[in-house]
Structure formats: structure tokens, C-alpha cells
Amino acid sequence: MPSAFGFRFDNTYRRLPAPLFSDCSPQSVSTPQFVLFNDRLAQEMGLDSKALSAHPEMFTGNAPLEGSEPIAQAYAGHQFGNLTMLGDGRAILLGEHLGDDGQRRDIQLKGAGRTPFSRGGDGRAALGPMLREYLISEALHVLNIPTTRSLAVTATGDSVLRESPLPGAILTRVAASHIRVGTFQYAAGQQDPALLEQLVDYTIARHYPALKGAENKALALFEAVMDQQIDLVVGWMRVGFIHGVLNTDNVTLSGESIDFGPCAFMDSFDPNTVFSSIDRQGRYAYGNQPSITQWNLGRFAETLLGLMDENTDAAIEKATHSLKSFSQRYEEKWHAMMGKKLGLFGSEAEDDALIADLLTWMHEQNADYTNTFRDLINESLPDREQYQSDAFQHWHQRWQARLGRNRKPLASSLCLMRNHNPAVIPRNHLVEQALEAASDNNDLAPTRALLAALADPYADRDIDDPYRQPAAPGERVYQTFCGT
């Protein structure tokens, strides 16, 4: 029986062994008020969105949701290369909701108060970063990239102290699960093989049920997660997304994007682009995301060695062999993705150079990544000076000739391109402006307008549309902050 508001909780993670979580309740807040409520997601989940939208207190500690059994999850993680004990320091998992669509979804409150894993932190979150997570996760979702979702941002009425007092908020996050590579690192650190095996079985049952009968479950899980992670990073590369903090605690086993801190979308194409203020070495730069994903998968493989083979050398051999296939698997998927961005069907030996030459030209010219690909869809290129150069014209002729050799009509190429090259992305300067207006002046209008503009990112939009413009020199944002 669903409870009030249509929630139907079935909390399987809480039935796993105790070290994996701690019981803990969200704290009460002063005056809960919805800042954003995701009506469409609520409906997708089979919730009574109309009733729920009048009860923001349900997404705080003020009123427990019937059937929820709140916990903070334990996990570790390599942060910028160093292994640390982490856990949900400011997030509380209410439980797993079973939707009418048969999907099991975690419902988590981020910024809900202190937990046993809070270390020195206050367990709270400021409005700006929670709005950023809402905006970016919902944008990625409509861009067809797997991601955790955002059901609501609830203002608490309390202020949180960062460098100055800021309005506090709670994000209601919805995820396929919150199992991370860091969860496995934590479980492996418990020196209890049975615990680790239970986590493997649980993850397989929840995310990869087809692997249940696999001969080597740990290896099969590793390979399946690798494939999901490759698809994910190829999706990010397609739209110019830079996660910003690809620590192992921010890598999910489900393959969803998670934990949007200083993330941002790149304007002009440059593989070295970094926005995060804390990423001084460029470890998580746009162009490093594939190799750092492989590195993170290496840490995941290490946790599974004991289950891959009794003999350590044999286990290392199996894991290494598998991990080495990352590069080839990634390259294949990346080329297929780039081929779609250029409307190519089939593959020709010359395609690699065609793709590489365009990217080199874009880098040299500081060309806008999103707009350049979208401009190619037009029958005649827009009147931009960059497109008049001999170098570009020469590339364009090669590309046109290649399209001419497609076995499918031009209309099919254009359709393919339209579906893989967004017209609108969350431009970083617009995101920053929206968050500032909300946080400093309690003005939600820019956030709402941006959300509306992002709702249908592949639809044609006028070339002069403000949501399509890269930052003007005076608007440019060079750094983004976690704000934790």
C-alpha cells in the first residue's frame, strides 16, 4: 500500500550488514519552503505531486515520511588521489521508493543536518550549490545523459555559515542508488570478505541482474560498471560537461552522474579546461575525464581482487587484462559519438582525421564547442568570420564530401546531428548569474527562466537566443566553487 503522497518505501540497503550505514534522522529546520519542486519527476515516480507540492516539510526533518528509515551511508574515497574515510556527512537517505513504473529509486536529503560521518562539517548546505545541482542534473537528464535527479530544493529558513552567512537549503535527490566506488573501497577496508561479497551480490541484484549467474561475479560486475562508466564519460565529452571532482566517492556503480560541485559546461573548445577552484593541477580537466575514469576503475578493481580469484597473481592478471581494454572500448565509443555529431553513417579510414582536424581547428580558434557543431546543421553556415578562413573551408569541403558518401539521405544525417548536438546547454555564466540572484536577492526568476530554456535542449532555437550565447568577455566565469 502506498503511504500518503504516494510513497512506497522498500528499504533494502538498510538490510545490509551494519558497518555499511548508520541510522540517523534529518534535523528540524525553521521554516521549510519549496524553492523548486519538480512536478514532472514527481509524476514519473508515481507520487501525488499536487498534494506533495504543498508540503515542503516532508523533505526536511520536520515531518518524517511514512515508511522511510533514514540512514547515512558509509563510504571511503580517493580525493585528488588520497584515500580518505568519508560517508554521508550532510546527506541522509530516507529510503527506496518503488515507483509505478517498477523502478526503485533512492530518496535522499542533501543538507539535512549532521550525521556520524560529518567530521568537522555542519551537515548543512547553502541554497546556491543545491540550486546548481538541481539545474545541472535536470539539464543532463534532458540531454540524455544518465544522472541522479532533483525532486526539490527546499529553503530551510536557517542560515549556514560559510565565508559569510548564506541561506540554507536541502536538495531532495533521487538516484538509481547511491552505491559508489567509494562504498566498495570502504567495504574492502573492513577486511571482511563476506561483507564485500554481500555488497557485490546486492549491487548485481539491483543494477545488473543479468549477471546473477555469472561464473566470476566480481569480474563480470567490474566489466559491466566499466562499460557504464565509459558510456557516461562519452556522454559528458559529447556535450562539453566537466564534472570537476571525479573522486572515487563521486563515481556510481549505476553509471549515473553524481555530486555536482564545481561542475560546468565548457564554452570554447579546449581539452585543458578546468573551472574548479580546488583543482589546481587540472587533474579533472575536460580532456582528462576518460583517463581519470580509468584510474578510478583501477581503484574499484583493487577492491574486488579477492573475489576475482583466490590466487592474488591470477586476480591481478584478470583485473589488469580487463582494465587495459578500457582505452580501446572508450576510443570506439568516442569515435561513434563524434561520428554522430558530424552526421556520419558507417565508418571510413579518413573519419579519425576528419574529427581530429575539426577539434584542432576549434581549439586554435577558441571556437564555441556547442555552437560550432550546431551551426553545421544549417544549410548555409552562419555569418561568422571564423568560418570564412581557408582552413575551415577546406575542412568543410572534406566533410561535405564525406556526407555525400553516406549510404543514407542527408536528412538522416541532419536528424542524427540534431539529436546529438544540443542548441542549449547550461552556460556557466548564466548558471552563476542565476545562483547569485537567488542566493543574494532571493530572486528565483533567472533560475526558473534558465530551467525553462534548458527543458528541450535539442530543439531549434534562434541563433541570437540569449541562452545560446557564450559568455561575453566581461561575463566570463573562470572559476567555480564547491560551496560545501
Which of the residues are catalytic?
Answer: 249
Least distance in angstroms from the C-beta of 80 to Mg ion: 13
Dihedral of the alpha carbons of 433, 439, 444, 448, in degrees to the nearest 10: 50
| Cβ distance to ligand AMP smaller for residue 8 or 110 | 110
The alpha carbon of residue 316 and the mean position of all alpha carbons in its chain are separated, in whole angstroms, by 30
Q: Which three cell numbers stand for residue 449?
A: 527562466
Q: Which three cell numbers stand for residue 202?
A: 546486492
Contact predicate 457/139, CB 8 Å: yes
Look at the block and give the residue holding cell 555536482.
260
Instruction: Reduce the DSSP state of residue 93 to 3 states and report it.
Output: strand
| Cβ distance to ligand AMP smaller for residue 179 or 218 | 179
Taking CB under 5 A as the binding criterion, the range among 105-113, 146-154, 247-255, 369-377 that sits at the site for Mg ion is 247-255
Instruction: Tell me the β-bridge partners of 149.
Output: 174
Taking CB under 5 A as the rule, which mask of x and - marks residues 258-297 in contact with Mg ion?
-x--------------------------------------
DSSP state of 363: H
Taking CB under 5 A as the binding criterion, the range among 243-251, 291-299, 344-352, 408-416 that sits at the site for Mg ion is 243-251
| Cβ distance to Mg ion smaller for residue 150 or 250 | 250
- Partner whose footprint covers residue 454, from Mg ion, ligand AMP, none (CB < 5 to 8 Å by kind): none
| Residue 80 burial class via C-beta count within 10 angstroms: exposed 0-12, middle 13-18, buried 19 and up | middle
Taking CB under 5 A as the binding criterion, the range among 125-133, 200-208, 246-254, 277-285 that sits at the site for Mg ion is 246-254
The residue from 88, 133, 223, 249 that contacts Mg ion (CB under 5 A) is 249
Count of residues near Mg ion by CB under 5 A: 3
Give the DSSP H/E element, type plus range, for residue 206: helix 193-207
| Cβ distance to Mg ion smaller for residue 133 or 432 | 133
Look at the block and give the residue holding cell 535527490.
173
Taking CB under 5 A as the binding criterion, the range among 153-161, 253-261, 265-273, 452-460 that sits at the site for Mg ion is 253-261
Determine if 73 is a binding residue for Mg ion (CB under 5 A): no
Least distance in angstroms from the C-beta of 151 to ligand AMP: 18
Question: DSSP string of 470-483?
Answer: PPPGGG----B---
Least distance in angstroms from the C-beta of 150 to ligand AMP: 14
Least distance in angstroms from the C-beta of 120 to ligand AMP: 8
Taking CB under 5 A as the rule, which mask of x and - marks residues 30-49 in contact with Mg ion?
--------------------
Applying CB under 6 A, the residues found at the interface with ligand AMP are: 86-91, 118, 121-124, 249-250, 259, 261, 482, 484
DSSP state of 448: H
| Cβ distance to ligand AMP smaller for residue 143 or 245 | 245
Q: Which position's Cβ is nearest Mg ion?
A: 259
Cα–Cα distance, 422 to 430 (Å, whole number): 16
Backbone angles phi, psi at 37, to 5 degrees: -135, 125
Determine if 250 is a binding residue for Mg ion (CB under 5 A): yes
The alpha carbon of residue 319 and the mean position of all alpha carbons in its chain are separated, in whole angstroms, by 26
The residue type at 217: K
Give the DSSP H/E element, type plus range, for residue 328: helix 312-341
Exposure string of 103-112, with b = 16+ CB inside 10 Å and e = fewer, is eebbbbbbbb
Q: How big is the chain, counted in residues?
A: 484
Least distance in angstroms from the C-beta of 129 to ligand AMP: 9
| Cβ distance to ligand AMP smaller for residue 43 or 484 | 484
Least distance in angstroms from the C-beta of 479 to Mg ion: 20
Least distance in angstroms from the C-beta of 171 to ligand AMP: 11
- Partner whose footprint covers residue 106, from Mg ion, ligand AMP, none (CB < 5 to 8 Å by kind): none
Cα–Cα distance, 89 to 115 (Å, whole number): 6
- Partner whose footprint covers residue 88, from Mg ion, ligand AMP, none (CB < 5 to 8 Å by kind): ligand AMP
| Cβ distance to ligand AMP smaller for residue 232 or 338 | 232
- Partner whose footprint covers residue 231, from ligand AMP, Mg ion, none (CB < 5 to 8 Å by kind): none
Q: Which three cell numbers stand for residue 470?
A: 557564450
Cα–Cα distance, 188 to 306 (Å, whole number): 9
- Partner whose footprint covers residue 333, from ligand AMP, Mg ion, none (CB < 5 to 8 Å by kind): none
| Cβ distance to ligand AMP smaller for residue 124 or 374 | 124
Helix axes 181-189, 193-207, angle to 10 degrees: 160
Cα–Cα distance, 68 to 107 (Å, whole number): 9
Least distance in angstroms from the C-beta of 416 to ligand AMP: 36
Residues that bind Mg ion (CB under 5 A): 249-250, 259
